[in-house]
Amino acid sequence: MPSSAALAEHAPSSMSDIARDQVKQVRQQVGAVVAAAPAAGPGRKDPAVCPTDDEALTPRKKDTRTWDYVWRSGVAGGMAGCAAKTLVAPLDRVKILFQASNPQFAKYTGSSFGVATAMKDIYLTEGTRGLYRGHSATLLRIFPYAGIKFLAYEQIRAMLIPDKHHETPLRRLLSGSLAGVTSVFFTYPLEVVRVRLAFETKRDGRSSLRSICRQIYNEQPPQKSATARLPNAPLPVAAEAVKAPNGHVGLINFYRGFAPTLLGMLPYAGMSFLTHDTVSDLMRHPAIAKHTTLPRKANHPEGKPAALKSWAELTTGGVAGLVSQTASYPLEVIRRRMQVGGAVGDGRKLKLGETARTIFRERGIRGFFVGLTIGYVKVVPMVAVSFYTYERMKLVFGI
C-alpha cells in the first residue's frame, strides 16, 4: 500500500493530467465548430417553416438601392408593361371610345355585344391598324411608366417595410399608391397624347403624333367674343392676338385630368400591389405551396420567397387587376372626359367637379361605370401578364 507521502507526491501530477485532458477536449470542440462554420457559409440560416417566413428569419440581403438593381428592376417593369399593353390594345381603344362618349360609338354602349360590334366596326372602316391606333404612343408611354412604377415600388417598399415585422396591409397600400403617383407624374403628357390619338375615328386627314402635340399645346379657352371653330381649324387672327404669351399655359394642357388621375391612381396602384402581394402570400401557404411554387434554383436570391408557377402568378395578377379596377374606375371615367375636353364641344377645359356633374346629369350613376365590363375583360389579362412578366424578368435578371 503506498504511503501518504507517495500519494501526496503524485496528486499534483494526476490533477494536472486531468486538467490538461479537459483543456485538450475543449480545444478540439472549439476547433470543430470553427472548421464547420466556413463550410456552412456566412449566409447559413435555420430552415423556414414556410416559404414566406424566409425574410422573417433572415434579414433581406439584396440591396435595392444599388445602380445594378435599379436598372434591372426598371427594365423588367418596362418590358412587363409593354407586353401587357400590346395584349389588350384593341380592347383599350374601344374602352376609350366608350368612356369619352364618342358620338360614332355611343350606340354600342348599351348593347350586350357592344364591344365586339364596335371592334368589328373599327376593323371594317380602319382595318387592323385601327384597332391599334395610338398604340405607338402607348408603348412610348408605358415603358417608362411601368418601369418607374415597379422601380419606385421596390424602392418605396424597402423604405416603408425594412423587415417582415413592418409588413402590414397599410404599408403595402401606401407603397403601391406612392409608386403609382410617381410614375404617372413623369409620363402623364404621353397618356394625354395617346388618348387623343385613340379618340379620333375619322378615316381621312388623321392627325399625326406631331400635329396632335401641337394642337394640344395651342388649345386655349374660348374667348367671349370669339366665334366657334372646329377643333383642327387654324386659329383666327383675333384669337392669335389675344393668346396668352406665357408658354407655360400650353404645357399645362398636357396635364388635362391630372388631378383625377392622381386621385384614381391612389386606389388603383395601391390596391393592385396590395392585392397581388396578399394573394401571393396565400398562394405560398404551406398547405398548397408544393402545388403553386417552383423549386428554388441554385442562383435564387437569398431571402426571396420561391417563385410562383405560371398559372398561380397569372391568377394572382388577375385578381389584383379586378380589385384595383373596381376601386378606381369612376375616377378613370372622369379623367378620360377631361383629357378629350379640348377635342369636343367648344374646347373649354372642364374641372373635376364640373366633369363629374356633367357625367351624372347625362347618365346618372351608371355613367361613372360605362365600359366597366370591357374594363374587366381588359384589366384581368393585362395586370396578370404585367405581374407575370415582371416576376419572370426578375428571375432572369437575378434580382
Encode pLDDT of 162-176 as tens digits: 888 889 999 999 999
Encode pLDDT of 249-286 as tens digits: 578 888 887 877 788 788 899 999 999 999 999 999 99
Matching residue, cell 412604377: 149
Residue type, 385: V
Q: Sorting pLDDT into bands at 50, 70 and 90, what band is 367?
A: confident
The tally of CA atoms less than 13 A away on the side-chain side of residue 399 is 23
pLDDT cut 70: percent of the chain above it = 69
On the question of pLDDT at 330 being above 70, the answer is yes
More confident residue, 206 or 398: 398
pLDDT at residue 82, rounded to an integer:
94
More confident residue, 11 or 56: 11
pLDDT at residue 177, rounded to an integer:
94
Q: Helix, strand, coil: what percent of the chain each, to 5?
A: 70, 0, 30
- Mean pLDDT (the chain, rounded): 76
Encode pLDDT of 73-92 as tens digits: 999 999 999 999 999 888 87
- What is the spatial distance between Cα 12 and Cα 83, in angstroms, rounded to a whole number? 83
Q: Sorting pLDDT into bands at 50, 70 and 90, what band is 56?
A: very low
pLDDT at residue 64, rounded to an integer:
79
Residue type, 12: P
pTM: 0.65
Matching residue, cell 499534483: 12
On the question of pLDDT at 320 being above 50, the answer is yes
More confident residue, 288 or 18: 288
On the question of pLDDT at 314 being above 70, the answer is yes
DSSP character for 308?
B
Grid cell at residue 16: 494536472
Rg, Å, the chain Cα set = 31
On the question of pLDDT at 69 being above 50, the answer is yes
Grid cell at residue 184: 404617372
pLDDT at residue 288, rounded to an integer:
93
Grid cell at residue 190: 404621353
pLDDT at residue 259, rounded to an integer:
78
Beta bridge partners of 308: 293
Cβ distance 70 to 372 under 8 Å? no
Query: Residue 31: in which H helix or E strand, if any?
Result: helix 4-40
The arithmetic mean of pLDDT across residues 308-318, rounded, is 95
Q: Sorting pLDDT into bands at 50, 70 and 90, what band is 179?
A: very high
Grid cell at residue 342: 379640348
What are residue 174's phi and psi, to 5 degrees?
Answer: -65, -40
- What is the spatial distance between Cα 93 and Cα 134, in angstroms, rounded to a whole number? 8
